[in-house]
Amino acid sequence: MANKGWDEFEIGAMLRSFDGKAADVIATTHQEDRNYSPSNSFTASVADWRIEKPVFNKDFCIDCQFCWVYCPDMSIISRDKKMVGVDMDHCKGCGICVEVCPTNPKSLLMFAEHADEETEIAQWPAKDEEKK
């Protein structure tokens, strides 16, 4: 957020969710199309303390939406019931999406924050034959 002076902000310990009116946009738009204000947590990155990240491998995903349902921070991006990826500005790296992923091998796995995504996908684990 801009470093405004003491006389440059609205009074009160108060933040606006939207720049301007919010009416009738919520049900018909996706998050990225809404006029969230700079102080809204959607606009700000609130994930800089994540130390492990989920990596999504679409080759194994069945679009079951379990990860979307269980994510506690609305950080799974899904469009038309198709898994798109993870919102890395908001994901805290809790690993719940990986835990609930039902495919074999999993379509989401946790890696260190600094791991290279393409490299990890290239050496993704094979199907675990012992699992039925």
Can you tell me the distance from the alpha carbon of 32 to that of 60, in angstroms, rounded to the nearest whole number? Answer: 26
Residues 16-55 that bind another protein (CB under 8 A): 16-18, 21-23
Q: Applying CB under 8 A, does 15 fall inside the site for another protein?
A: yes
For residues 39 and 9, the answer to whether their CB atoms sit within 8 Å is: no
Q: Applying CB under 8 A, does 82 fall inside the site for another protein?
A: no
Q: Applying CB under 8 A, does 74 fall inside the site for another protein?
A: no
Please identify which residue in 2, 14, 51, 122 interacts with another protein, judged by CB under 8 A.
Answer: 14
Q: How far is the CB of 79 from another protein (least distance, A)?
A: 24
Burial (Cβ within 10 Å: 0-12, 13-18, ≥19) of residue 128: exposed
Can you tell me the distance from the alpha carbon of 11 to that of 40, in angstroms, rounded to the nearest whole number? Answer: 17
Interface contacts to another protein, rule CB under 8 A: 3-7, 9-18, 21-23
